[in-house]
Structure 1
Amino acid sequence: MSTFDPTVFLPDDLLERIRSRAAQVDRDNVFPDQDLAELMDAGYLKILVPAELGGAGLTLAQTSVLQQRLATAAPATALALNMHLVWTGVAKVAGDRGIDSMRFVQEGAAAGEVFAFGVSEAGNDLVLFGSDTAAVPQPDGSYAFTGTKIFTSLAPVWTQLGLHGLDTTGDDGPTLVYAFVPRTDAVVTRDDWDTLGMRGTQSRTTELHGAAAPADRVVRRLDPGPSPDPFVFGIFSVFELLLASVYTGVARRALDVAVDVARTRRSKKSGKNYAQDPDIRWRVAEMALAYDALLPQLASLTRDVDERVEHGPLWFAKLSGVKHRAAMTAKQVVDEAMLVAGGSSYFTRSELSRLYRDVLAGLFHPSDPESAHSTVAAAWLGPLED
C-alpha cells in the first residue's frame, strides 16, 4: 500500500502562505478569501469527491490528516472548510452505504459549489434530532424553510446551505426534513460575527424566510429524536471526526511553537536555553504525551468509518468521545505552551495568544462536554429512567 503524502494536496509553500495571512484575518475579523481561492485552485474542496466525478477520491482518514495539517497554519480556515467537507463527507459515507441521494453534493463540489452547514439553532440542544425551523411542504415536492440558524460558517461565500427543519403538517406527526437551499433573497445573513476567536470562520447568523429547497435537494425525512439512520450517522461521524482533526492540528501547532520557544529563550540565571530547564522539559513532555494519544484514535475511527466497521450502540459514544477529548486536550496543550513561552504569549501579537482564543471554540461545538458525557453514560449504563 502506498503511503499517503499530504503535501500533494497541501504543499509546504501553500501552507506557509495561509499561515502568513492568519494573524491579519483574525485581527481584521474577515473571511480568509485568499485562503479559499488558493485551496479551491488546489482542488482541496473536492478531496472527498470520487475520482470518477472529478475529485481526488480521498478517504475520511486521509482528509483527517489534511485537516490537521491545515489547522497548524490557520485554525479558522480549517474549521470553516470543515463545514463544506462535512457535506462532501456525508455524501461519501452515504454513497458507500448504498444511499445515492447526495450525489448532487459531490457533483456540485467538483463544479465549484461551496456547501455550508445550517443545523445549529439557539437553545436547541436536540441538535440533529429536532429543529425549531419550520419546513413547509409545497405541491411540487419542494420545501420552504423559515427559521434562524446560528454559527453558519462560510457565511460570506457559501452557495448551498445544507439544513434541517420540522414539518408539522403531516397526519402521522412531525417529520425532520434535511435539504439544501441555494443563496437567494429568502436567505438573510447577519453581519454579527464578532467573537473571541476563530474569527476567520465568519460563522454568522442566518435567517430563513421561506427559503426553498427544490424537490431533488430534499435528501432525508426522519422521525424526530435519536436515530440509527445511516444519513444521521454520516453527519455525526464526519462532523465529530473532522472537528477532532482541527483541534488536534491546533495542539500540534502549539507544541511546535513551544518547542521553538524553549530552544530560543535563554535563562539569565543559568545562561542556558530553556530547553535545558527541567520544568520546561516536563511541560513539553506533558504536551507531547497528550498530543500523541489523539493520533491513533483519530486514525482508527476514521478508518472504521471508511471501512464500514460496526461498533453498534457504542458508535455515538466513540465519536462524541474523540471530539471531546481532542478539544480538551488541545486546550490543555495550548495552556502549557503559553507557560513555556512566558509573558510574551500574553500579547495579542503572539501566535499562541491567537491559538489560545481559537482553541476555546472547541468547548462549544457539538458534542459539548455535557452532551459527550451524557452520550457515553447512556452507551455504558443505559438511558436514564423516567
Structure 2
Amino acid sequence: MEAADLLTDALLERFRERAPRYDAENTFFTEDLADLKAAGYLRLFCAVDDGGSGAGMRQAAAAQRRLAAAAPATALGINMHLVWTAIAVLLRDRGDDSLGFILSEAAAGEVFAFGLSEPGNDAVLFDSTTAAEPGPDGSLTFTGTKIFTSLSPAWTRLGVFGKDSGAGVDGEGQLVHAFVPRGTPGVSIIEDWNPLGMRASQSNTTRLEGVRVPSGAIFRRLPVGPNADPFVFAVFAAFETLISAVYAGMADRALELSVEAARRRTSRVRGVSAAQDPVMRHRIAAGAMRVDALDAQLRAVTADLDAGTDHGPFWFAKLVGLKTAAVDTARGLTETGLQVSGGSGYAASSEIARLYRDALAGQFHPSNEDSAHNTVATAWLGPLES
C-alpha cells in the first residue's frame, strides 16, 4: 500500500471541514491528530513488521502533499514528527543506525517534535544560544529558549540541542543533541502562538530552565560550525524535502480553487464565465506550469534520496532550491487564487485567503531565500574569498 493511501478521500474531507475552525479559533488539530494516529500515519517511516508503512521519501512526500492540500497547518504540524522518523531512515539507509530507536518509539506511539529553532540564531544547526552545562555523571543541563515548537500540545519526545562551551577542540565548544520526554522538570510551554497563518500547528515557544538530560539520552555531539556529519545532511534532507511537500500540496489546492472560481464567476458585461477571459486563462496557465515544474523537482529529489544518489557538494543546493521553489510556488498560486476569486476570496473565512496566509509562513522555515541563494552560489562558485 502506498503511504498516501492511508489518507482516504473521506478522511481528507474531514480534515478540510475542520481546518477553518482550527484557524478561526487558533486551536490545535486535536481531532485530526487522533484520526492520523488511528490511520497509522505517524508510523509512515516505521517498518511494516512494526505496524508501519515502510515508506521512503518519495512516498512520504506524496502523502504530505495530499494532506496539505486539505489541511495545511495539520500537515505542517505532523511534518515535524515525520521529519524525525525520516532522519532515522536516511541515516539507516546510509549505514548509520544510531537513531533507530526513534522508529521503535514512533511505532510504540511516541510523538516527536523539534526544539531546535532559537530567537536570533541564524546559524541554525551550526551554533546554539542554549547552554548545555555538563554534570559530573555525564549528564547535561539545558537552559535556553526554543521557538516554533510545532506540536506543542501533543509531543511526547522533544529533540533539543545546546552548546557545551567547555568541550570541543581548542575550547570552541561542542553542540549536543538529545531527546527530552514530556513532563521533564524545567520544560515549560509558553502558549504564545497567535500568528497570521498555520495557526493549528500551535508552534509555541518552549523554555528550558535547568533541564537535566542523562548521558544515555544524548545522541549526537558535533563541532560548532558547518560540518560533514551524516546527521546534519539527514536533518536538512528530511526537513527541506517534507516541508517542500507541504507547500506543494498548498499550491495544488490553490490551483484547484482558481479553476473552480474561474468557472463559477460570470462577467455581467460579456455574459461569459471568467474561464473564457484571456487574462484569467493566462494566470491559471502560468500557475499550472509552475506546479508541474515543482512536481518534477520534488519527484527528482525524493527519488535520489531514496536511491542514495551522491550529489556531493551539490546536495544542499538541490535541497534549498527545492524548498525555495515550493514556497514561491505556493505563494504565487495562492495569490493567483485570490485574483481569480474576486472579492469573495478576500473574505478572511474563504479557503483561498486562509491558504494565502498559510503560504506566507514558508519564508520563516530554514533555509530562507537569502540563505538558499548563498548555499547555491557556494556550490557553483565556491566560498566567498576572505
Coarse TM-score class (shorter-chain normalised): over 0.9
Q: What is aligned with 1:175?
A: 174
The aligned amino acid for 1:156 is: P
Change in CA separation of 1:13 and 1:171 when aligned onto 2, cut-off 3 Å: closer
Matched, 1:322 2:319: no
Matching residue of 1:152: 149
Aligned amino acid, residue 54 of structure 1: G
Secondary structure of 2:338's aligned partner = helix
Structure-2 change in CA distance of 1:124 and 1:171 (3 Å) = closer
Distance in 1, matches of 2:305 and 2:8, equals 27
Residues 378 and 171 (structure 1 numbering): CA distance in 2 closer, same or farther, change over 3 Å?
Answer: closer
Distance 2:162 2:359 in 1: 30
DSSP-derived class of the 2:27 partner: coil
Deviations 1:199-218 (A, max 9, x none): 00110100001223333321
- Shift of the alpha carbon at 1:137? 2.5
In structure 2, distance between residues paired with 1:304 and 1:140: 43
Confirm or deny that 1:88 pairs with 2:88: no
Q: Output the CA distance in 2 between the equivalents of 1:170 and 1:22.
A: 46
* TM-score, length of structure 2 as denominator length: 0.97
In the TM superposition, residue 7 of structure 1 has moved relative to its aligned partner by 4.9
| Structure 1 segment 218-229 matched on structure 2, within 5 A | 218-229=218-229
Whichever residue aligns with residue 316 of structure 1, its letter is F
Structure-2 change in CA distance of 1:7 and 1:307 (3 Å): closer
How many Å separate the matches in 1 of 2:90 and 2:218?
17
Question: Which among 138, 142, 155 is matched to residue 141 of structure 1?
Answer: 138
Structure 2 counterpart of 1:48, from 45, 49, 66: 45
Which position in structure 2 is the counterpart of 1:213?
213
> Which residue of structure 2 lines up, in the alignment, with residue 260 of structure 1?
260
- Does the Cα contact within 8 Å between 2:3 and 2:53 map onto a contact in 1? no
Q: 1:54 to 1:141 in 2, by over 3 A?
A: farther
- Cα deviation per residue 1:98-132 (whole Å; 9 max; x = unaligned)? 22221211111111111001111011000011101
Q: Which runs of 5+ in 1 are unaligned?
A: none
Say yes or no: does 1:186 pair with 2:183.
Answer: no
1:163, distance to aligned residue in structure 2 (A): 1.6
Say whether the 8 Å CA contact 2:4–2:66 is kept in structure 1. no
1:351 partner letter: E
The code of the aligned residue for 1:223 comes to P
Equivalent-residue separation in structure 1 for 2:355 and 2:303 (angstroms): 28
> What CA distance in whole angstroms lies between the structure 1 residues aligned with 2:4 and 2:110?
24
User: What is the alpha-carbon distance in structure 2 between the residues aligned to residue 131 and residue 153 of structure 1?
Assistant: 19
C-alpha change, 1:57 and 1:171, in structure 2 (3 Å) is: closer
Question: Quick one: distance in 2 between partners of 1:143 and 1:48?
Answer: 30
Change (3 A) 1:216 1:171: closer
Cα RMSD for the two superposed structures = 1.2
**Larger displacement relative to structure 2 (48-57 or 367-376):** 48-57
Q: How does 1:164-313 map to 2 (within 5 A)?
A: 164-170=161-167, 172=169, 173=171, 174-183=173-182, 184-313=184-313
Render the CA deviation track for 1:155-204: whole Å, top value 9, x for unaligned: 11111101211111226331111111112231010010011000001101
Q: Structure 1 residue 266: deviation in Å?
A: 1.2
Preserved CA contact (<8 Å) 2:4 2:59? no
How many matched pairs? 383
Task: Report the alpha carbon displacement of residue 136 of structure 1 after superposing the two structures with TM.
Answer: 2.1
Match for 2:75 among 75, 78, 82?
78
Whole-Å Cα distance in 2 between the matches of residues 214 and 262 of structure 1?
Answer: 59
CA contact (8 A) 1:182 1:213 kept: no
What is the aligned-residue identity percentage? 53
Matched residue SS, 1:235: helix
CA deviation vs aligned residue, 1:218-262 (integer Å, no higher than 9, x gap): 111111111121111000000000111100111000000111111
Aligned in 2, Cα 1:305/1:115: closer, same or farther, shift over 3 Å?
Answer: same
Q: Is the Cα–Cα contact under 8 Å of residues 32 and 74 in structure 2 kept in the other structure?
A: yes
Residue identity matched to 1:373: H
**Structure 2 regions of 5+ residues with no counterpart?**
none
Distance 1:333 1:111, change over 3 A: same
Tell me the equivalent position of 2:97. Answer: 100
